[in-house]
Amino acid sequence: MTNQLAFHNTQFNVVNHNNQIWLTAVEIAKALCYKSDDAVTKIYNRNIDEFSTGMSETVNLGVSGNYQKTVRIFSLRGAHLIAMFARTPVAKEFRRWVLDVLDKEVGEAVVHPVSAQEETYTLSLTRSELCSICWCWSAAEYMREGLEQVTPGLIALRSPLADSVSIMASHYQRTLEAVKVILERETHNIKTRLYSVEDANWRSVLIRLRKPAAI
């Protein structure tokens, strides 16, 4: 687990709590560009019913010598939820940063089997079956984009769904981008006939599949 984390000019002193990354309320407030050190604690107190067990705790941390101070800390999911309620210009970017850190933490916790070469599979699909799989990807991406679009409104309404919807929109993007690469590879030889009724589905989905990702 890393002890070195930084967001812009904020260097986090990571708290290793239950072998997971936790961040202090004061440093989260600094990263979100709040002038007051207790801004994050106030956000938490106003919305305490939105936080589930394991998102925030108070711990005693050593400050200097034998002196200990009671400090409020947040898990990465807790920090993400704090940023959902934040109204500072960097809040959106901070949420994305937290999700990236969370992805890395989860990845480090997964034990991958050691293999000299990954297994490969040969699948037999008809032209129409492959088209259906492409449309399945397209439908999933439309739904993910929809989640992304409604997230700001859910945040403004302080909906309890805001956190999970935002996380899904972000996490699913990585999966769907990986699937898109696979489908682009498997369909690169597909040629559509301009006036063919049978190829109408292919023409529509290939336009979307082969469209460069937005930067």
Beta strands of 85-141 (E only): which ranges? none
pLDDT one-digit tens code per residue, 15-35 = 988 888 999 999 999 999 999
Diameter of the chain by CA atoms? 80
pLDDT one-digit tens code per residue, 42-101 = 999 998 988 888 899 999 887 666 778 899 999 998 999 899 899 999 998 998 899 888
Q: Which CB contacts under 8 angstroms, 24+ apart, belong to 93-99?
A: 94/7, 94/31, 94/32, 95/166, 96/170, 97/7, 99/167, 99/170, 99/171
Q: Which two tokens stand for residue 160?
A: 């309890």
C-alpha 36/C-alpha 99 separation (Å) is 24
Question: Are the CB atoms for 163 and 84 separated by under 8 Å?
Answer: yes
